[in-house]
Structure 1
């Protein structure tokens, strides 16, 4: 019930956005469309390159803290253990 309602709402939002975009794009000339596409390509491409370079630059940086590696202590079992019943520690 809820899934069908959500699907219907999402479909209505998509249709509304499609109509608005078609109206907006129908008003500009083909040359203006090319300019808009190129500007969007440059902006999104620049953001993509920035995010990639920033992620690579920040690899291994953790505010001066190093990852602490410690040995795992062995589990101390009770003397009446089923695993080793003859251990008298």
Structure 2
């Protein structure tokens, strides 16, 4: 796999060198400056477009409503002994103080 990437890199490097070899140094600098400028304009356009779209109404997502769960009682309250009910009430009432 690594050999394939090395071959592709070498091939691309050879093609770029071949294209740039025919240009004078002044034309190379001009070409590089133009390409950097185009990439910068494209980059800034995407950044500012994303910032602009953050607060738009049509970009807001819909809030999904979740219905409350109905939890079945595993042990009905009337089957608990009175002592256990008092212990549980005392335990929970200590947090209300």
Q: Residues 31 and 64 of structure 1: is their aligned pair in 2 closer, same or farther, counting only changes over 3 Å? A: closer
Aligned-residue Cα RMSD (Å) equals 2.5
The gaps in structure 1 that reach 5 residues or longer are 1-5
Query: How many equivalent pairs are there?
Result: 78
Matched, 1:51 2:46: yes
Q: Which has the higher helix share?
A: 2
Q: Which runs of 4+ in 1 moved over 4 A?
A: none
SS in 2 for 1:68: coil
SS in 2 for 1:67: coil
Output the CA distance in 2 between the equivalents of 1:17 and 1:64: 41
Residues 53 and 59 in structure 2, CA contact (< 8 A), matched pair in contact too: no
TM-score of the superposition, structure 2-length normalised? Answer: 0.64
Higher RCO, 1 vs 2 (CA within 8 Å, ≥6 residues apart): 1
TM-score of the superposition, structure 1-length normalised? Answer: 0.69
Output one character per residue of 1:4-41: Cα deviation in whole Å (capped at 9) or x when no partner.
xx222111111100111112112211000110011011
Output the CA distance in 1 between the equivalents of 2:10 and 2:46: 32
> How do residues 69-88 of structure 1 correspond to structure 2 at under 5 angstroms?
70=65, 73-77=68-72, 79-80=73-74, 85-87=75-77
